Structure 1
């Protein structure tokens, strides 16, 4: 079959090799090839402009941008939405065929291609998240060693930081010289991680201050440079969502639903989607709740006062986080600053 018959291509991505399946207008397979990374662009450069589908995974955004430069229309699909189209036993060519089938569906949801700037910002956030996790592990290990020797320290990193010099200098049978040396080495690790986290946080803050979208998001309560830049890195301008509730659902902050017939059963939040961004919005909601005196200044102050009387604390935090996420999406997608008179009804 000539290449002009190809209208849809599915590519199963790998580290070094890619499996390509092309379909014609009737859905019949007219191309079935295995290509190396270097051969992929060359083989598709001579194919007339067509729809190309790939699963959203590591490297997919880079390859997608390269193929778009060749004139193709590239769509990235979540892997879980491709699985229903897989026929028979799994292999790479069948995966590519399933991708080609799925990308044609008019109701399919796609992942927008990320720009280089978005990927850079996302990389900064991932490194910062890893460093914060490592720092927490070091702090917990120090606490564990001290507690095993009968030296508990009250909660909080500030309390531990203040107590350590006295604990390590006191002459006690509780701490052997070896444990003291180990704790001192862990403190050095802690200081190093502090410096790295501070450095990357400063870089993220500077990037957020330079970006108009981030500055707009930071006018909202509970949203700072970290949340605004993480949101921009994850969804760009929010074009992938039709409304704020869709964004909140993608974050996993809406109830699980199991409904049949006339019965509607709602459970706990789904916790699907971007866990990192969901955690940040929940932390931002907690910060808003701690400043009760500022509630009347917010457009959702009346709702928050009423909700605080009928909801448990953790439920209230998640409900507020979902509202903040919907408002943030509306500000990003519609290009407007936070308005205190706006009640957050963005759905």
Structure 2
């Protein structure tokens, strides 16, 4: 249900942004900016919006507020459930793994025994780079994107936040992240971290251990 609400909210944000764009009101990507700007746009009588469109935007704004409230309620419930689940508690020791991600990974992975190793779990989620051979050497392509698309997006979103915060940290994982950002770029570093996090999550689940950061 949360997945459905989240998808609906994303579609609504994109729809509102598209409607405004048709009238020359271009907003940057991101729901925060759109939420902040809508009241002023509705009050500005000189921006060319028709009365019908203003009424439509007010209705969509109200729906957006409702979706935000519903998702906040779900997140509070998921947090409570995660705090009462030992596996989720262990998963939440991983960087980028909050209650929502931990619950989703726990539901998807179960006890982890269906995978022989962490790489198999990552491959099942579509986070392992595709490969092909040419001229006697292996060439890495983009990730396969197989498996649960929504869960993969959650993992990548969490990994992106970790990459953003890694800049000044000196633990081994952060140094690895910073090296990847410098040599391969932000997006590839984010996907590589998501791949690594699922592998670590498999170890955490199958061995019933918590994640312990390693200092450099």
- TM-score under structure 2 length normalisation: 0.91
Deviation at 1:285, TM superposition (A): 1.1
Deviation at 1:296, TM superposition (A): 1.7
Deviation at 1:264, TM superposition (A): 3.7
1:266 maps to which of 124, 134, 140: 140
| Contact kept in structure 1, 2:41 and 2:47, CA below 8 Å | no
CA distance in 1, matches of 2:174, 2:35: 37
**Corresponding residue of 1:144:** 18
| Contact kept in structure 2, 1:295 and 1:304, CA below 8 Å | no
**Corresponding residue of 1:327:** 200
| Contact kept in structure 1, 2:167 and 2:178, CA below 8 Å | no
CA distance in 2, matches of 1:142, 1:231: 32
CA distance in 1, matches of 2:94, 2:21: 42
Are 2:185 and 1:312 aligned? yes
CA distance in 2, matches of 1:260, 1:151: 49
Tell me how many residue pairs correspond in the alignment: 216
Unaligned runs of 5+ in 2: none
C-alpha deviations, 1:315-347, integer Å up to 9, x for none? 11111111111111111111111111289xxxx
CA distance in 1, matches of 2:146, 2:184: 23
CA distance in 2, matches of 1:149, 1:264: 50
Q: Secondary structure at the match of 2:169?
A: helix
**Corresponding residue of 1:158:** 32
Unaligned runs of 5+ in 1: 1-126
Deviation at 1:150, TM superposition (A): 2.2
User: Which structure: greater strand fraction?
Assistant: 1
Q: 1:236 to 1:342 in 2, by over 3 A?
A: farther
| Contact kept in structure 1, 2:181 and 2:188, CA below 8 Å | no
Are 2:149 and 1:275 aligned? yes
**Corresponding residue of 1:76:** none
Q: Secondary structure at the match of 1:341?
A: coil
**Corresponding residue of 1:253:** 127
**Corresponding residue of 2:108:** 234
Bigger RCO (CA 8 Å, 6+ sep): 2
C-alpha deviations, 1:283-313, integer Å up to 9, x for none? 111111111256323x423322332221122
- TM-score under structure 1 length normalisation: 0.58
CA distance in 1, matches of 2:122, 2:28: 36
Deviation at 1:147, TM superposition (A): 1.9
Q: CA RMSD in A?
A: 2.1
